[in-house]
């Protein structure tokens, strides 16, 4: 009786693996470094952007002032943490609300024909409308303020969650459902221990898409409907003609977006550790 263990790694020794990692990191660093260097040179010597494009050095300096203040009397000096945490909070709340409602509604639609007949037409009508088109109404309903941004994030994140939950729950194997019944599991236990776990890979695909969309909609909403946060800072910087601050905002948003994606991936890797492969 032999256990199928994962195949021994092709590269055996620890140091070999380390050196491969390092060389891979070096290779992956080439393109970004080249871009930054060319960008700096183009701004310094070729007047790239005609004064409207900041150099990487200027961006880093602005970002440092924005984050740490550094004794600067710029309007935004030291205000980074407030803006970043305001934005992150809005994404977190909107995303969480969408995830909960999307999961519950998606499960209902997939499990009950009645629920599907009730909710599906509304979803089909609303889905093709870009969520950014809801900006005016989010302001009408919630006024100028965080609630407008949160509602937009929630609406945008809802669709990928609900659709992928429906797909995942519908694809539960008949074999697993029969197994659960034959082992005496009732509907509730079958749902929690069989249907949802088996739908989890698809649900996580939805959550990941939703997180990406959340940041897009947050920035749109903050540019128009909120007087704080990264999107507001970005749009405000445009009025002050501070392109360096705009790039610094873009970098901040990108970094937070990346971190939130990694968090979802880490959570998903934990819950899906029973799977052969995790799609990244």
Partner 1 sequence: MTAIAMADTAGAADPVVRVVALGRTYRTENSVVQALDNVSLEIGRGEFLSILGPSGCGKSTLLNVLAGFDRQTSGVAEFEGRPIPGPSPKRGVVFQDTNALFPWMTVEQNVEFGLRSLGMSRAERRERAAQALALVNLRDFASSYPRQLSGGMRQLVAIARVVVMDADLLLMDEPFAALDAITRQRMQRQLVEIWEKTRSSIMFITHSIDEAIYLGDRVAIMSARPGRIREILDVDLPRPRDLASAEFNALRGRALTHLDHH
Footprint on this chain of partner 1 (rule: CB under 8 A): 1-5, 173, 175-176, 178-186, 189, 193-194, 197-198, 200, 272, 274-276
Minimal distance, residue 93 CB to partner 1, in Å:
29
Alpha-helix residue ranges (DSSP H) falling in 174-225? 174-182, 187-190, 196-225
- Rounded CA-CA distance 28/22 in Å is 10
CB of 88 closer than 8 Å to CB of 81: no
Nearer to partner 1, 118 or 183 (CB): 183
Residue found by looking up tokens 């005016």 in the block: 136
- Say which residues have a Cβ less than 8 Å from residue 99's Cβ, sequence separation at least 6: 157, 161, 207, 210
Q: Do 112 and 172 touch, CB atoms closer than 8 A?
A: no
What angle do helix axes 243-271 and 196-225 make, rounded to 10 degrees? 170
Among 280, 131, 271, smallest CA distance to 215 is for 131
Question: Among residues 6 and 13, whose Cβ is nearest to partner 1?
Answer: 6
Q: Which lies closer to partner 1 via its Cβ, residue 110 or residue 152?
A: 110
User: Two tokens at 41?
Assistant: 């040179």
Cβ distance to partner 1 smaller for residue 194 or 221: 194
Query: Whole-number minimum distance, CB 274 to partner 1, in Å?
Result: 5
Radius of gyration of the chain, Cα coordinates, nearest whole angstrom: 24
Question: CB of 267: closest distance to partner 1 in angstroms?
Answer: 15
CB of 264 to partner 1, least distance (A): 18
Closest to partner 1 by CB, 99 or 180: 180
Euclidean distance between the first and final Cα of the chain, in Å?
34
Six-digit token string for 105: 């509604």
The DSSP output letter for 191 is: I
Nearest CA among 280, 108, 110, 104 for reference residue 208: 280
Determine the Cα–Cα distance for residues 60 and 66; give it in Å rounded to an integer: 10
Indicate the residue among 112 and 173 with the shorter CB distance to partner 1: 173
Least distance between partner 1 and beta carbon 103 (Å):
17
Measured from the CB atom, is 132 or 198 closer to partner 1? 198
In angstroms, give the least distance from the CB of 199 to partner 1.
11
CB of 164 to partner 1, least distance (A): 17
């Amino acid at each position: 009786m032999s256990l199928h263990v994962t195949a021994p790694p092709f590269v055996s020794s620890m140091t070999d693996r380390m050196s491969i990692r390092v060389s891979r990191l070096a290779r992956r660093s080439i393109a970004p470094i080249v871009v930054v260097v060319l960008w700096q040179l183009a701004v310094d010597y070729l007047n790239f952007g005609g004064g409207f494009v900041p150099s990487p050095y200027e961006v880093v300096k602005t970002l440092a002032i924005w984050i740490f203040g550094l004794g600067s009397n710029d309007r935004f000096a030291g205000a980074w943490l407030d803006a970043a945490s305001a934005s992150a909070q809005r994404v977190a709340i909107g995303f969480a609300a969408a995830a909960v409602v999307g999961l519950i509604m998606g499960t209902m639609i997939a499990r009950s024909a009645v629920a599907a007949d009730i909710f599906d037409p509304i979803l089909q009508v609303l889905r093709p409308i870009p969520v950014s088109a809801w900006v005016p109404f989010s302001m009408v309903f919630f006024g100028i303020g965080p609630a407008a941004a949160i509602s937009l994030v929630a609406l945008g994140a809802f669709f990928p969650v609900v659709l992928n939950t429906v797909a995942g729950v519908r694809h539960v194997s008949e074999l697993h459902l029969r197994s659960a019944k034959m082992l005496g599991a009732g509907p509730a236990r079958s749902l929690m221990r069989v249907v949802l776990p088996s739908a989890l890979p698809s649900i996580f695909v939805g959550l990941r898409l939703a997180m990406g969309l959340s940041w897009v909609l947050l920035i749109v909403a903050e540019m128009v409907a909120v007087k704080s946060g990264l999107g507001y800072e970005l749009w405000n910087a445009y009025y002050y003609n501070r392109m360096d601050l705009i790039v610094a905002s873009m970098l901040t948003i990108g970094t937070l977006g990346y971190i939130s994606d990694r968090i979802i991936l880490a959570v998903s890797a934990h819950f899906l550790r029973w799977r052969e492969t995790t799609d990244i």
